[in-house]
Amino acid sequence: MKPNPIVPREVTQAKLDKRAKAGQRHRASQTYTLAERVEASAVEFAQRPCIRYGAQHYTYAQANACMNQVAHAGQALGLRRGDVVALCMENRPAFLFAWLGLAKIGVKLVFLNTNVSGKPLVHAIEITGAQLILIGEECLGLLAATDAPEGLRYWLWPDAENPATTALRERCELNFEQAMLQAPDSNPPVEWRAGLVAGDPALYIFTSGTTGLPKAAVISHARWLITGDVMQTTMDVQPEDCFYCFLPLYHGAASLSAGATAFAAGASLLLRRKFSRTEFWSDVRQHGVTICQYVGEICRFLLTVPAQPSDREHSLRKMVGAGLAPEVWEQWVRRFGEFEIYEGWGSTESNTNTINLDNRVGSCGRVPFWEKTNLRLVRYDIETDSHPRDENGFLQLCDVDEVGEGIGMIINIPDVVGGRFEGYTSPEATEKKILRNVFREGDAWWSSGDLLRCDADGYCWFVDRIGDTFRWNSENVSTAEVADVLGDFPGLDAITVYGVKVPGAEGRAGMAALVLQPGVRFDPAKFWALALDRLPRYAAPIYLRIAPTTDMTGNYKLRKVDLQRQGYDTALVEDPLYIRDDKLKTYVPLNPPLARAVG
């Protein structure tokens, strides 16, 4: 692929200005909330398709009627504005009915990860203050593995596709779907949410962290509305568009980006419970999907499916997400055709972000003029895990192409939502993400924990998470860049790169966990040749682990904490291990005696 020409800064900035204008439509004090957006869309797009799920189709009017029934049932059962209800359900229409229906009476929703039980689930309940879980029948198994807090109540929403045992169903005090189906389907009275304003919390969404217990990010009504308006403007989304929603609705990538944008534009949402690489393109073709939200390894997984003559025969034309490596981007376009790809950088809770509006391969966005953004890149010392400060005690801006941490100036202007850091339910967790006295006394900046670099043309490039980048032989090694470079090794299904401690050595040595496609036999000499050809010697992995499956978050991000802990310890790791041998120009099996010798 030839690199696309550099777009003039003014052209990119004009697009960013349109986004900024869309983001200024809402104020914290307004009474227009999620409820008003849903009801306005139900009038404007009444007969347009809203939700698609297998053979089930709901128009905007029909979906709104179901949400209204939820609102009336919730109110009749005692729910009121300000109450906190946890929602635990897989991607299906009931998720949207429950969430947006309860929002109509001012209830705050906690989106629970449907893969979590035990201590993490209890943690999620405790830090959000939820007293009630509206739980899908498909998730009842989580209860059996959890010693829930005393007094926690459960309302059941049945799932004919995944019936649970009678014993589990009986742990729920009532069948909420039954109550909902008997309730009126008219819009609930506005008085039921009297006092609610857009600056109030609407959702608690857990960060998809790959280490430790997740934090509950606060998402206001205004934040959801702004996200929808901005992304509708960015991608010129129309009512005829259809979003493919296979990422979990409990995470912001689906519920904020896809969900909010669809309701802003009158577009439809095709729901799928879980991502399937074998069914992806048939779903796209059958339902006329035009826009896809991607995260993590999704595109790499789809490229492992054998090529078909019909690869370019589809309706998909726009993609938005994060984590699309340059090599994967180029392979994707060569195989599946031209797309508008909106690669971005940010997070559920961030107060700043970037987005690639120029289809610049590999870039996560552009800053044409720094004075027009609250984003800055500041120097970060990997070795000391700190920000160097100048003679006046302030942080230092990065030079062109210098790697540094992305930070966002916290803007606290009354009634203005843009630039706010809404934080987490935990004040301590919120404070830990704030840098103070950064460029002057008294200023405050959100700390992303991400390393970026920005080139001479203003294009930003994601480098790695702080904590993932490590030092070896006095050089910084980006785990993300190593994974991107080696990700197209023939027969490779997934790769996770991380640093491991080596006794007696400074820094960390590179290690990679490889998952191979079914039936593929690992060729250590070919992998050595690829690694040493594409990477500096210090960055090529020292150790390899051939893993049977990939350890991922529910949102398809690679999880590496257990891999790092186990390292290359043959007493802990049953998978085949290898160590790099540059004399033999290959990787050789790492048996216990050899491990003891090198360790």
Express each pLDDT in 534-579 by its tens digit.
Answer: 999 999 999 999 998 877 666 666 667 788 889 998 889 999 999 9
Side-chain half-sphere exposure of 347, counting CA atoms within 13 A: 27
Q: What is the mean pLDDT of residues 191-220?
A: 88
C-alpha span between 160 and 234 (Å, rounded): 38
Percent of the chain's residues with pLDDT above 90: 80
pTM: 0.89
49-53 and 56-59: which strand pairing? Answer: antiparallel
Contacts of 478-483 with CB under 8 Å at 24 or more apart are 478/451, 479/510, 479/560, 481/539, 482/510, 482/512, 482/535, 482/539, 482/540, 482/541, 483/325, 483/512
94: helix, coil or strand? helix
What pLDDT is attached to residue 210?
Answer: 47
Average of pLDDT values for 333-362? 95
Separation CA 391–CA 393 (nearest Å): 6
Q: Under DSSP, is residue 130 helix (H, G, I), strand (E, B) or coil?
A: coil
State the Cα–Cα distance between residues 505 and 13, nearest whole angstrom.
48
pLDDT classification of 266: cutoffs 50, 70, 90? very high
pLDDT at position 325: 87
The answer to whether residue 3 scores a pLDDT higher than 70 is no
Q: Which two tokens stand for residue 486?
A: 């080696």
Tell me which amino acid residue 256 is.
L
pLDDT (average), residues 275-294: 96
Residue 26 CA to residue 22 CA, distance in Å, equals 9
pLDDT tens digits, one per residue of 14-25: 999 999 999 999
Q: How far apart are CA 109 and CA 82, in angstroms?
A: 10
pLDDT of residue 597: 64
Strand ranges of the sheet holding 49-53, from the earlier edge strand across to the other edge: 56-59, 49-53, 268-271, 242-245, 291-295, 318-322, 340-345, 354-355
Residues 6+ apart with CB under 8 A from 373: 352, 367
| 214 CB-near residues (< 8 Å, 6+ apart) | 113, 120, 124, 206, 207, 208
Q: What is the DSSP letter of 118?
A: S
pLDDT at 503: 84
Q: Distance between CA 405 and CA 119 in Å, rounded?
A: 32
Q: Given a cut of 60, is residue 599 above it in pLDDT?
A: no
Strands 509-516 and 492-500: antiparallel
Q: How far apart are CA 485 and CA 507, in angstroms?
A: 22
Classify residue 397 by its DSSP letter: B
Q: What is the pLDDT of residues 63-110, one digit of tens each?
A: 999 999 999 999 999 999 999 999 999 999 999 999 999 999 999 999
Where does 193-252 have alpha helices with state H? 221-235, 252
**Confidence check: pLDDT of 153 > 80:** yes
Q: Tell me the C-alpha to C-alpha distance, in Å, between residue 173 and each of 125, 140, 324.
A: 18, 13, 45
Helix (H) or strand (E) holding 109: strand 108-111
Domains of the chain: 469-598 (3.30.300.30)
Say which range, 210-219, 228-237, 264-273, 301-310, has the weakest mean pLDDT: 210-219
pLDDT tens digits, 24-71: 999 999 999 999 999 999 999 999 999 999 999 999 999 999 999 999
How is the chain split among helix, strand and coil, in percent rounded to 5?
A: 30, 25, 45
φ, ψ at 221 (rounded to 5°): -55, -45
Predicted confidence at residue 596, as pLDDT, reads 66
- Using CA atoms, how far apart are residues 408 and 370, in angstroms rounded to an integer? 12
Percent of the chain with pLDDT strictly greater than 70 = 96
Q: At 149, phi and psi to the nearest 5? A: -60, 145
pLDDT tens per residue across span 454-498: 999 999 999 998 988 888 987 889 998 899 899 889 999 989 999
- Of the candidates 41, 100, 30, 92, the one whose C-alpha atom is nearest the C-alpha of residue 70 is 100
